[in-house]
Amino acid sequence: MRISELSAKSGVAIPTIKYYLREGLLHQGQQTAATRAEYDESHLRRLRLIRAMLEVGRLPVASIKKVIAAVEDESLPVHLMLGTAHYALSPAVEPEPGEDWQIARDQVDRLIADLGWAIDPRAPTRDELAQTLVKMRQLGLPIDLTPYVEAARKLVSEVEMDKIPFDGPRDAAVEALVLGTVLYGKAFDALRRMAQESESAGRLSP
């Protein structure tokens, strides 16, 4: 297909597609003339992935480039490729000076070890959870994550991971991960708040 058809099918404007080509986010098409190239389904998949990371994941172009590089590196195992996308989605967290931070970080590390979860020592989610625990402790909230751990484990192992096409195209797997992590995460949060409202009505309404 020509670039005009690629634009129509993907919903991405031609100038934007050309920008992605210049930046190396989108691989070049097959040159058929000096000023003409042909594109195929792989370009459509890549554009879907880029849109997922930009519009849903809200990732900066620099982070998207890292994920694209992981997708294109066929020697990189799928697990590490998906990890690159996962880490890109994590918010940047700066460790806080003081005893509270170290206590929380140690608690996170012990939790992971007790669960037997395979989490990279450099995973940004370790610091993200630690920061949350610091705030919970400062506000006097009880820190018992057991029911949340079990809910997360069950949701991921029995539902979410089955939605990722591990054996398909690499960019399709990353797209599924990004969309699933962000959108299902938002849906779950909304459902939880609706459940809280309903439970409150049941317990407190006359």
pLDDT tens per residue, range 184-197 = 999 999 999 999 99
CA distance linking residue 43 with residue 6, whole number of Å? 8
From 80, 20, 96, 86, select the one nearest 59 (Cα to Cα).
86
CB atoms within 10 A of CB 147: 8
pLDDT tens per residue, range 19-32 = 999 988 898 888 88
pLDDT tens per residue, range 104-114 = 999 999 999 99
Q: Residue 35 pLDDT more than 80?
A: no
Look at phi and psi of residue 98 and say left if phi exceeds 0, alpha if psi is from -120 to 50, else beta.
left
Q: Residue 34 pLDDT more than 80?
A: no
Can you give the pTM of this predicted structure? Answer: 0.83
